[in-house]
Structure 1
Amino acid sequence: MNDSSVDSSEKNPGSEKLNLSTKLAYGAGDLGPAITANISIFFLLVFFTNVAGIPPGFAGSILMIGKIWDAVNDPFIGYLTDKTQSRRWGRRLPWLIYGAVPFGVFFFLQWIVPKFTNDPNTNVWGLFWYYVAIAIISQVFYTVVNLPYTAMTPELTQDYDERTSLNSFRFAFSIGGSIFSLILARIIFTTISDRQQQYVILAAVCSIISVLALYWCVFGTQKRVLAFEAKRSQAEVSAEIPIMEQLKIVFSNRPFLFVIGIYLCSWLGVQITASTIPYFVVNCMLLKDSDVPTVMIGVQGTALLMLFVWSALSKSVGKKIVYFMGMFMWIIAASGLYFLKPGQIVLMYVLAVMAGFGVSVAYLVPWSMMPDVIELDQLQTGQRREGIFYGFMVLLQKFGLAFGLFVVGLALQSSGFKEATAGSGVLPIQPESALQAIRIAVGPIPVISLIFGLVLTYFYPITREMHAEILLKLQERQSGK
């Protein structure tokens, strides 16, 4: 795209379409958080039990503590990003600049297995507290880079359909990065026999890619972000609202409550399934560790291909219909996984592809709804508070996920799941009760969560027509000043 079009979009950031370079740079900002989050979702629980030798109840507790702390710091950091002042970088970008390197370092540190003592029982407690400390610190820096990034969406464009397109680029990088990391995992798992070394190398490569991608996002979106900041600073003259009053307004925004509910239900299904799949593939389907990334690539590859299909389809039929179509296919797939038997490998991959249709919608639709909610709040209050809305959306989502992951770990331990001995490299044979718990976690539990999400989506109140009316009223207000 030529320079004149770029300049035009910068002068009027609310109404103009985004150029390709800006969309690519914005999408790159989700590459690092997505790679690290997906590697953690898919492998961290199994790493704790099968490499570090931590009992599944303890492993689930580590994940829960990390998620709860991550949730607690989200609104605080969101509020701070709304108040950040920088002529050179705006409100959001300074957080990405200074948080990128620590984010990569602490992600890497959670994949090493330090030895504190020769006594296995005592060493387990040392590992437990080490991983708790790393989880807390790493989640802080994850929030520092990811929350300001997600809050940039409504600042880059106010066009209803363009936001869906922008999120398509974002999640293309997100899912594409996940697929790349899974291909990388398969290569590493196939060529390196030592399980601990496998994860160390995987984490190191993913950390480096994550940091570089965040800086691409910063420098690629800087001009567009600053153009919006200049316009916002001129238009926003309303009196400051105290933080407690802001919280009251956030939770009185009815569409916002629907969005966080839809997002929670969708991602509870995603994360519980993703954390359980490695156990399902190895213990229930009797395949190898190196087959786990291949199954996940089937899901994520389909999700990537469908992103732009769903994005285009949503322009004609709307976000709700797209969400229903994807979720119905995922529910069928999750139900089928519960009944799979060893040897039904082809059917397993068919169900993985079907699940990918729904996972793609879970990425796309809830995040496309959030900017609409923010503009409704702007109409009601006269202020744009992306940070606090995104912060509380992620806070409530992570509380739910923390509880879900804790329950999965506790259920595995209660069912008699046997963790590996650290450094042994040998996986124990699991009892039938543990296999049944794995099947329930990969099938019925996600189905229930997805059904609740469908109910909430049906009653979500903001349509394309209502959003157009909101924007019209905002424009009238600004032109009248």
Structure 2
Amino acid sequence: MSSEQEFHTQTKLSFSTKLAYGVGELSGSLPSNILVFFFLFFLTDVAGLKPGMAGIIVMIGKIWDAINDPLIGWLSDRTRSRFGRRYPWMILGSIPLGLSCILLWTISPGDGQTFQVIYYTIIALVFYTAFTAVLLPYSALSAELTQDYNERTNLISFRSAFSIGGSIVSLIVAEVIFSLFDNQAKQYSLLGLVAGIIATISIFISILGTYKRYKEVHKYGYNSQKNSSLSIKENIFLILTNFPFICVMIIYLCSWLSVQTIAAILPYFVINYMGLTEEHFTRMAIFVQGTALIMMIFWNYMSQRFGKKTIYLMGIPFTIVAELGLFLLQPGQVILMYIIAIIAGIGIATAYIVPWSMLPDVVDLDQLKTGERREGIFFALVVQLQKIGIAGALLLVGKILDSAGYIPKSTGQQPETALWAIRMIIGPIPITLLIIGFFFAYLYPITQAVHQDILFQINQKNETYN
């Protein structure tokens, strides 16, 4: 057995490494969760923008976020430094990420729809550039810290736990701030401040806690350090011929497009359709995420026994049933609303774990075919598609509410057309997306046995070349 094989079959990730890697997820989960849950509502009901204009801001930011993904992914794959390929990007992007997160939740210094659109668009562009520079290389590390099939699921479980934990923390912080302060502008500015500070600190904790393991892996050289002779366009074209990657991309897109569309419409559903206060919205979101966090342990155990795609096929139907339940829910059924939130959380836990733990296995398959490690561009393409989809979804949400006659900052009853639109967005639309993702999860071909064979062939090739 080669030294490389011995290292990866006998050396497991330490608890401290997995914990430090998980902490890094807070740099993305806190800012992104408050964006998903509150930003559209903040722009319409606090900053006073029309829903359509708010949707345009979100769309522009997300499109730029998607455009810079493959570029930064490709560049990070080609980065050479004594700190490796990923860490320089994480270090340089951390401070701008925190500062722009704070500014994004500050009321613009000028009045008028045009000025506000320009202000929030510029801040959003800076935020998403820094966000990609930090989170994309961070995500790619999951494929570089270990090659073990089950260890990757375990590592992603730590990351997912902090993702859900970050979401819960952001919602708890939001509820506390909302209860302590009456001024909405102050509420959201404090929320952005807390998220920005935690985002910056957490990524440095992750860097310090994982770098030793990264250096150990790099020592054995399974991560190819040679530059690809292909352009970014040629890289993307070649990757898109990888069928397992197509499956993962669609699973991820459909899962998170569904989940984040619900998150964006949930404040409107709870406040306008159910007739409840903001506190009920944050509590309901906590029920969903808290259940997902608890179920993470169960699904991680089940994955060790039955595999990644099996737990997805087992879990996602719970979320589909929950979304149907929300569509059929009637005002006054508050207890049932919270029960549905728990059911949704059972399935959402698998959406956190499965796509990200599948993706490193796909990278290994690509290495077998090409002889190169291209984690950055692979992770970039998945995230890019997700961001384009979410940008389009949030724009669609804004446009649907606009067309349905939604009244921003309304203190009275919304028109019936707006209430019906809210129900459609929270039910049939995300259900359709999850069914598509379920189908492609069924088609995904890389099982644990297949992955072990991929690693065996990679090691055989390496020994031949050496």
Band the TM-score falls in, shorter-chain normalisation: over 0.9
Q: For 1:363, what is the secondary structure of its paired residue?
A: helix
* Structure 1 contact 10–227 (Cα < 8 Å) conserved: no
Q: Which runs of 4+ in 1 moved over 4 A?
A: 8-11, 233-239
In structure 2, what residue type is equivalent to 1:397?
Q
Query: Which amino acid in structure 2 is aligned with residue 430 of structure 1?
Result: Q
Corresponding residue for residue 41 of structure 1 = 36
Structure 2 residue aligned with 1:3: none
2:320 corresponds, among 309, 326, 331, to 331
Q: How does 1:372-383 map to 2 (within 5 A)?
A: 372-383=361-372
1:444 aligned to which of 397, 403, 428: 428
Amino acid in structure 1 at the alignment position of 2:242: N
Query: Which string of whole-angstrom CA distances, capped at 9 and with x for unpartnered residues, describes residues 269-312 of structure 1?
Result: 11100000011110111111122110100000011111121111
Kindly state the Cα deviation for residue 136 of structure 1 after the two structures are TM-superposed.
1.1
Check conservation: 1:45, 1:275, Cα contact below 8 A.
yes
Cα displacement string for residues 242-281 of structure 1 (whole angstroms, at most 9, x for unaligned residues): 3333222111111111110110000011110000001111
**Residue 429 of structure 1: how far off its partner (Å):** 3.1
Contact 2:52 2:402 in 1 (8 A): yes
The residue type equivalent to 1:409 in the other structure is G
Choose the corresponding residue for 1:168, options 157, 171, 183: 157
Deviations along 1:80-106, one digit per CA (max 9) or x if unpaired, are 11111121x211111111111110100
Residue number in structure 2 paired with 1:96? 90
1:29 maps to which of 24, 31, 34:
24
Are 1:462 and 2:451 an aligned pair? no
Cα pair 1:14 1:156 within 8 Å, conserved? no
The corresponding residue for 2:13 is 18
Distance 1:207 1:394 in 2: 21
Q: Distance in 2 between matches of 1:138 and 1:99?
A: 10
Q: Does residue 144 of structure 1 match 2:138?
A: no
2:417 to 433, 439, 455: 433
* Separation of aligned partners in 1, 2:4 and 2:98: 33
Deviations along 1:433-474, one digit per CA (max 9) or x if unpaired, are 111111111111110110000111111111111111000001
Percent sequence identity is 46
Counterpart for residue 306 of structure 1 = 295
Check if 1:363 corresponds to 2:352: yes
Q: 2:229 aligns with which of 227, 231, 240?
A: 240
Cα deviation digits, residues 297-346 of structure 1 (max 9, x gap): 00000111111211110111222221112110000000010111111111
1:339 partner letter: L
Q: Which amino acid aligns with 2:379?
A: Y
| Whole-angstrom distance in 1 between the partners of 2:46 and 2:412 | 12
**Mapping of 1:15-414 within 5 angstroms?**
16-87=11-82, 89-117=83-111, 123-232=112-221, 240-414=229-403
Question: What's the CA shift for 1:241?
Answer: 3.3
Deviation per residue, 1:51-72 (Å, 9 max, x gap): 0111111111111111111000
Ranges in structure 2 where 5+ consecutive residues have no aligned partner: none
CA contact (8 A) 1:334 1:355 kept: yes
Residues 168 and 289, structure 2, Cα contact 8 Å, conserved in 1: yes
Residues in 1 aligned to 2:35 and 2:233: alpha-carbon distance in whole angstroms: 34
How far has the Cα of 1:393 moved from its partner?
1.1
Cα distance in 2, alignment partners of residues 235 and 270 from structure 1:
36
Moved more, 145-154 or 187-196: 187-196
Are the counterparts in 1 of residues 275 and 331 from structure 2 also a CA contact under 8 Å? Answer: yes
Q: In 2, Cα distance between the equivalents of 1:260 and 1:153? A: 17
Q: Aligned partners of 2:231 and 2:400: how far apart in 1?
A: 43
Report the Cα distance in structure 2 between the residues aligned to 1:160 and 1:307, rounded to whole angstroms: 17
Say whether 1:478 aligns with 2:433.
no
> Matched residues in 2 for 1:271 and 1:238: separation?
36
CA displacement at 1:201 relative to structure 2: 0.7
2:423 partner amino acid: R
Query: Structure 1 pair 378/281, CA: closer, same or farther in 2 (3 Å)?
Result: same
> What is the rounded CA distance, in whole Å, between the counterparts of 2:35 and 2:221 in structure 1?
37
Task: Quote the offset at 1:10 in angstroms.
Answer: 13
Shift of 1:431: 0.9
Whole-angstrom distance in 1 between the partners of 2:326 and 2:369: 46
Look up the equivalent residue of 1:98 and give its one-letter code: L
Alpha-carbon RMSD: 1.8
Say how many residue pairs are matched: 463
Q: Letter of the aligned partner of 1:469 in structure 2? A: D
SS in 2 for 1:157: coil
Q: How high is the TM-score relative to the length of structure 1?
A: 0.93
- Indicate the larger mover: 353-362 or 369-378: 353-362
Change over 3 Å in CA distance of 1:302–1:234 after alignment to 2: closer
Query: In structure 1, what is the Cα distance between the partners aligned to 2:64 and 2:338?
Result: 36
One-letter code aligned to 1:264: L
Structure 2 distance, partners of 1:23, 1:11, is: 20
Q: Deviations over 1:137-162 (max 9, x none)?
A: 11000000000000000111100001
Alpha-carbon offset, residue 115 of structure 1: 4.0
Amino acid at match of 1:113: I
Letter in 2 for 1:223: K
Q: What SS does the corresponding residue of 2:221 show, helix, strand or coil?
A: helix
Residue 14 of structure 1: how far off its partner (Å): 6.7
The answer to whether the 8 Å contact 2:164/2:293 transfers is yes
CA contact (8 A) 1:419 1:428 kept: no
- CA shift at 1:129, angstroms? 1.3
Counterparts of 2:43 and 2:223, CA distance in 1: 51
